[in-house]
């Protein structure tokens, strides 16, 4: 899998978690990983590690977003945009090998694919303030 495909899989799992309780996350991750038939074992391990690490840093990530997004709180954001912003913030703050520009660009591209008409500009604007 390419880095972009891996990032998209991570986004899908983190997004999926929005619709389940905290107690169900582990089970949902197991189900998600079982459905990744085309991923190599290395990619599966990487995806699982990143998703788990994002959840571990979620309170800190949300605090960064809440303090940076003008007139928006995470509780008011659409789930797709929120998930993409969370993923990018994680990459910016906790991934040394992902350049800030790449994290933002990838989030914007995923917003174009999964979000609404204005999602890409919203995601870009919030991430620009955070970066």
- The encoded tokens of residue 70 equal 């003008």
Q: Residue 98 gets which letter from DSSP?
A: S
Q: Please count the structural domains in the chain.
A: 1
Long-range contacts of 21-28 (CB under 8 A, 24+ apart): 25/55
Cβ(103)–Cβ(42) below 8 Å: no
CA distance 10 to 17: 11
For residue 9, what is the domain's CATH number? 1.10.940.10
CA 61 to CA 92: how far, in whole Å? 10
pLDDT at 50: 94
Residue with tokens 């789930």: 79
pTM of structure: 0.91
Predicted local confidence at residue 90, as pLDDT: 97
What integer pLDDT is reported at residue 73 of this predicted model?
A: 87
pLDDT for 31: 85
Q: Which domain holds residue 92?
A: 3-130
pLDDT digits (tens, 9 = 90+) for 86-127: 999 999 999 989 999 999 999 999 999 999 999 999 999 999
pLDDT at site 20: 82
Tens of pLDDT, residue by residue over 30-53, are 888 888 888 899 998 999 999 999
How high is the pLDDT of residue 66? 93
At 18-32, the pLDDT tens digits run 888 888 888 888 888
Q: Residue 82 has what pLDDT?
A: 96
Is residue 86 within 8 A of residue 66, CB to CB? The reply is no
């Amino acid at each position: 899998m390419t880095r972009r495909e891996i990032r998209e899989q991570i986004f899908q799992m983190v997004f999926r978690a929005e619709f389940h309780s905290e107690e169900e996350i582990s089970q949902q991750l197991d189900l998600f990983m079982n459905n990744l038939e085309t991923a190599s074992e290395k990619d599966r391990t990487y995806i699982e590690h990143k998703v788990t690490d994002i959840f571990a840093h979620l309170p800190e990530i949300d605090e960064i977003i809440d303090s940076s997004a003008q007139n928006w709180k995470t509780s008011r954001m659409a789930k797709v945009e929120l998930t993409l912003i969370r993923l990018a913030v994680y990459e910016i703050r906790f991934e040394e090998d992902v350049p800030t520009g790449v994290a933002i660009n990838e989030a914007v591209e995923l917003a174009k694919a999964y979000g609404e008409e204005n999602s890409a500009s919203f995601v870009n604007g919030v991430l620009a303030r955070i970066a």
